[in-house]
Structure 1
Amino acid sequence: MPELPEMENYKNLLKDKIANQVITDVQINREKSININPDLFKKTVQHQRIVDIKRRGKHLLFQLQNDQTLLLHLMLGGWMFFGSESEKPNRTIQVRLSFGQNHLYFIGLRLGYLHLHNQTQTEEKLSDLGPEPLNSEFTLAEFLKRIHTKHGRLKTTLLDQSFIAGIGNCYSAEICFQAGIKPTKDIDDMKDDDQIKLYDSMKNVLLDGIKHGGYMDNPLFKGDALTGGFNNRCQVYDREGQPCLRCGTTIIIEVISSRQTFYCPNCQK
């Protein structure tokens, strides 16, 4: 599932492609991927200019000239491709937004969605999300204040979108590895030094993920050499049974709250 770095990468690349461009056509192939009548959706979106693209947590917000917002959540298996009809991947397309001869294809939206909302509705939909971990306002003091109110396993807390927005299965594992803390550890048992290391690791790992285009390896457009670059930089995620790149110990996989998690039993105490 795309997480904060993947969606930030999408945002940055799409701004170069479609910001200030007009949506010339809308194609809906799966009505369940949108939230209103397809004819009304098309009527509201078509001929509108993309005035800005923003990210909130794991969501992208395409802000239109008419003050409406296309709210995207890719969920599990969702991704996007931008290009001409001849360049598109041989995959089922749920929604297509056209910009002249080029199109933005929304793929794999079986669980994900592209919903149309006004400003008030958009704010309501995102109101339960916690702070953005990379915002300058999210200081160490604010992080410590929030984590001191939490209990239970560290992994479960990092996945809680009301605690911090945007972290999922991949980056929670990588953050814990860089901090040298087992994701199975109970927050009540964490020392202050561990919590400070966790905060620093969170910032470092997420920034590195963005810098290298996230871990999802489907290119956004033909010739896209950035997207998916973090996949080969993962230290523990999806590497069960392989040697730790730091110490050589075999990476372990465990299930916590129905979610797989990966860690090095030697590097993470």
Structure 2
Amino acid sequence: MQELPELDHYRNLLADNFSGAQITAIDIRNEKAFQVSEETITRELIGSIVWYIERRSKYLLFHLDNGRRLRLSLHQGAYLYSGSEEERPGKAAQVQIRFGSRILYFIGLRLNDLQLLSAREVEEQLATHSPDPFHKQLTLDRFIERFARKRGPIKSALMDQSVITGIGTVYSDEICYSAAVRPDTKIPDLSREQWEGLYNSVHKILKEAVSFGGTGEHPFSADDTVTGGYAARLHVYNREGQTCSESGAVVEKIDVSGRAAYYCPEYQKS
């Protein structure tokens, strides 16, 4: 799944462009991606208005004025594009939702990535999901408690969606760097001070990444100059052999539980 900053960035773009917009047509090119009948489309989607867009856990939710929800999953490689018929993206879109002359293209969707649900069905699906990193009730102590049963390296634990949602391989490395903690440090070896650093870094890095457009590779529209802006601000992820801005040492790549991890051996000593 895409990481929290990319999803929150999409939420902001969708809200700016489609809140209050009316759905005028839907073109489904891949029925597996959005399994809904023509009758349902006509009855429940055409003519409905997008009330607002929300990110919940790893999903984007389009709240419609008839009480229904469009629930969207975006895997790595999938993306959204907004434009006219003439501005259509280079790759084929599995689903196209028309809002008059504007079209929202869904590219790279997989099985059931787009679903039409009731409010109750959404809540049932999300009932067992782990806390959002930005949830007000996720205090430092509760953050630490979420990792209490883990014994492996902190990078793997940060990426575990059963602990907290939205952190993947890119931002786990950046969070560890911001907290000056090695990504392969075992959970039981972390001090209270390190936990506090990680907790603060989760909020700092994710919020910064959202504000700079995440690390997505595909623009949202023809005039989009924001999406992917955080890629140039990454400190260690995919920067093996480059110089660390804090220590001047060389960023290294190591294996952490079968995944590549990037860190600075001078700045992240423990």
TM-score by length of 1: 0.93
Q: Which residue of 1 aligns with 2:41?
A: 42
Instruction: Verify the 8 A CA contact 2:36 2:116 in the aligned structure 1.
Output: no
Identity of aligned residues (%): 38
Q: Which residue of 1 aligns with 2:205?
A: 205
Alignment-mate amino acid for residue 6 of structure 2: E
Q: Which residue of 2 aligns with 1:126?
A: 126
CA distance in 2 between partners of 1:19 and 1:255 (Å):
43
CA distance in 2 between partners of 1:150 and 1:238 (Å):
26
CA distance in 2 between partners of 1:200 and 1:14 (Å):
28
CA distance in 1 between partners of 2:111 and 2:232 (Å):
27
CA distance in 1 between partners of 2:112 and 2:200 (Å):
31
Alignment-mate amino acid for residue 261 of structure 2: T
SS at match of 2:194: helix
Alignment-mate amino acid for residue 183 of structure 2: P
Provide, for residues 47-98 of structure 1, a one-character-per-residue CA deviation record: whole Å limited to 9, x for no partner: 2111111001231001112222111111121110111111122111111110
Instruction: Verify the 8 A CA contact 2:158 2:164 in the aligned structure 1.
Output: yes
Bigger mean CA offset, 230-239 vs 43-52: 43-52
Provide, for residues 151-202 of structure 1, a one-character-per-residue CA deviation record: whole Å limited to 9, x for no partner: 2221111111121111111111100000011111110111111101000111
Provide, for residues 23-44 of structure 1, a one-character-per-residue CA deviation record: whole Å limited to 9, x for no partner: 100011111212x344245233
CA distance in 2 between partners of 1:52 and 1:259 (Å):
37
Q: Which residue of 1 aligns with 2:154?
A: 154
Bigger mean CA offset, 64-73 vs 110-119: 110-119
* Residues 232/188 of structure 1: CA separation in 2 closer, same or farther (3 Å cut): same
Q: Which residue of 1 aligns with 2:11?
A: 11
Q: Which residue of 1 aligns with 2:192?
A: 192
Q: What's the Cα RMSD here?
A: 1.7
Alignment-mate amino acid for residue 181 of structure 1: V
1:1-269 alignment runs, 5 A limit: 2-34=2-34, 36-43=35-42, 44-110=44-110, 113-269=113-269
Bigger mean CA offset, 62-71 vs 132-141: 132-141
* Residues 262/111 of structure 1: CA separation in 2 closer, same or farther (3 Å cut): farther
CA distance in 2 between partners of 1:198 and 1:261 (Å):
16
Alignment-mate amino acid for residue 211 of structure 1: S
* Deviation of the 1:146 alpha carbon: 2.1
SS at match of 1:109: coil
* Residues 120/259 of structure 1: CA separation in 2 closer, same or farther (3 Å cut): farther
SS at match of 2:161: coil
* Deviation of the 1:135 alpha carbon: 2.6
Instruction: Verify the 8 A CA contact 1:94 1:109 in the aligned structure 2.
Output: yes
Bigger mean CA offset, 224-233 vs 256-265: 256-265
Number of residue equivalences: 268
TM-score by length of 2: 0.93
CA distance in 2 between partners of 1:76 and 1:8 (Å):
15
CA distance in 2 between partners of 1:239 and 1:165 (Å):
25
SS at match of 1:93: coil
CA distance in 2 between partners of 1:187 and 1:133 (Å):
18
